[in-house]
Amino acid sequence: MREAQRAAVEREVLQHVRAQFFRTAIAERRVTVREQLAALATDAVVTSRQLFNTGAADDPDVRASEIEAERAQLSLVQARNDRFRAWRELGLVMGDPALTPQSLDTSVLDGAPPELLREPMLEQMLQDHPELLAARAGVAQADAGLSAAQRLMSPDLLVGGGAEYSRERDEVRGVPKGWAGRVQVGVRLPLWNRNQGGLASARADATRARADIGSVDLELRSRFEAAYAQYLTALRSVEMYRADMLPRAERAYTLYRNSYQQMAAAYPLVLIAQRTLIQLTDDYLDALDTLWTAVAELRALSGD
């Protein structure tokens, strides 16, 4: 049972490490994206000022671009602070509180998400999850205790024997009888103490142990189904962001910015496109976070 409990703890730690690694990678990616958006906002300020100097832009356009650049800088500061916190949390789950931010390859986020099949993973979890193994070991231990308690209610047959030397003289020969064998047979009957209390306690332990298996089974199934639902939703979201929404938002922002620089579009349209791109990018990173957290949970449950 202790081995199963230790395995359960190890799985939980591994899950936390995996999930926090991907959170840290996403935090790194968010900083990179925010740096790019901050640079774009700064370029927009330069462009709007140039257009204002030539009379092709109004003062409100310049002020709006400056405010947007400041917002981008604040978002960048927040992303950097979040990255620092993610690294510290990664160090804690890895047992290294002094871990500091360092170069991290985030290309794993660009790869195809893992394809996790529900039925095989669920079957594997129910077969060898440490919590279930510990519960089953508890049933075996409780059954052994019940068997021992039941034996105390049955009559015990006592058999003994041995050899002994007798100095009693034989009446015929007049010499000591010498060595002789001895056998004793008896029955001990539990007439008053029938171990009723111990038996009731052992039965209660066995019933509770079996109920624990059902409770652990239901809890693990619930965790698995919740994680798998999150996985499917996040997987679909990531695919849609990658294939459709983000490319369209980037294209729209580029077109509006170029049109504004050519004095063919108003600056508010550029701001709207930029904010849409920023929001979609943040939503995409949030979906990645949910996806990889669910993957880590499912792998920990199934022992992958």
Per-domain boundaries in the chain: 2-150+199-302, 155-189
| Inter-axis angle of helices 267-302 and 246-261, nearest 10 | 160
What does the pLDDT read at residue 227?
92
Rounded CA separation 115/121 (Å): 11
- What distance in Å separates the CA atoms of residue 209 and residue 212, rounded to the nearest whole number? 5
Per-residue model confidence (pLDDT) at position 134 = 78
CATH superfamily of 2-150+199-302: Outer membrane efflux proteins (OEP) (1.20.1600.10)
How high is the pLDDT of residue 192? 47
Measured between alpha carbons, how far is 208 from 139 in angstroms, rounded to an integer? 9
Measured distance CA(41)–CA(69) in Å, rounded: 5
Banded model confidence at residue 262, pLDDT cuts 50, 70, 90: confident
- Residue 117 confidence (pLDDT): 92
pLDDT band at 18 (very low <50, low <70, confident <90, very high): confident
Please list the alpha-helical segments (H only) found in the chain: 2-53, 59-93, 118-128, 130-151, 196-240, 246-261, 267-302
Q: How does residue 183 score in pLDDT terms, banded at 50, 70 and 90?
A: low
SS3 at position 185: strand
Local confidence band at 103 (pLDDT 50, 70, 90 cut-offs): confident
Strand partners, 160: 184
273 pLDDT band (50/70/90 cuts)? confident
Residue type, 127: Q
Interatomic CA distance for residues 50 and 244, integer angstroms: 34
Q: Which residue has the higher pLDDT, 178 or 29?
A: 29
Computed over every residue of the chain, the mean pLDDT equals 79
Among residues 40, 44, 41, 38, the alpha carbon closest in space to that of 265 is found at 44
The tens digit of pLDDT for each residue in 207-233 reads 777 777 888 888 889 989 999 999 999
> Which residue's structure tokens are 């979890």?
125
pLDDT higher at 249 or 216: 249
pLDDT at 151: 64
pLDDT at 68 over 60: yes
- Predicted TM-score (pTM) of the model is 0.67
Q: What contacts 236, CB < 8 A, 6 or more positions away?
A: none
Where do we find the tokens 């690294």? Answer: 87
Integer Cα distance of 291 and 220 in angstroms? 19
Q: Which of residues 32 and 183 earns the better pLDDT score?
A: 32
Tokens in use for 107? 């290309």
**What's the whole-number mean pLDDT along residues 83-90?**
91
Handedness of CA 108, 103, 82, 293 (dihedral sign): positive
Does the pLDDT of residue 203 top 80, yes or no? Answer: no
What average pLDDT does range 94-111 have in this prediction?
A: 81
CB neighbourhood size of 148 (10 A) = 13
Residue recorded with tokens 């189904």: 225
SS3 103: coil
**pLDDT value, residue 186:** 60
pLDDT at 128: 82
**40 closest CA partner among 64, 74, 72:** 72
Helices 267-302 and 59-93, interaxial angle, to 10°? 10
Block residue for tokens 């990658």:
242
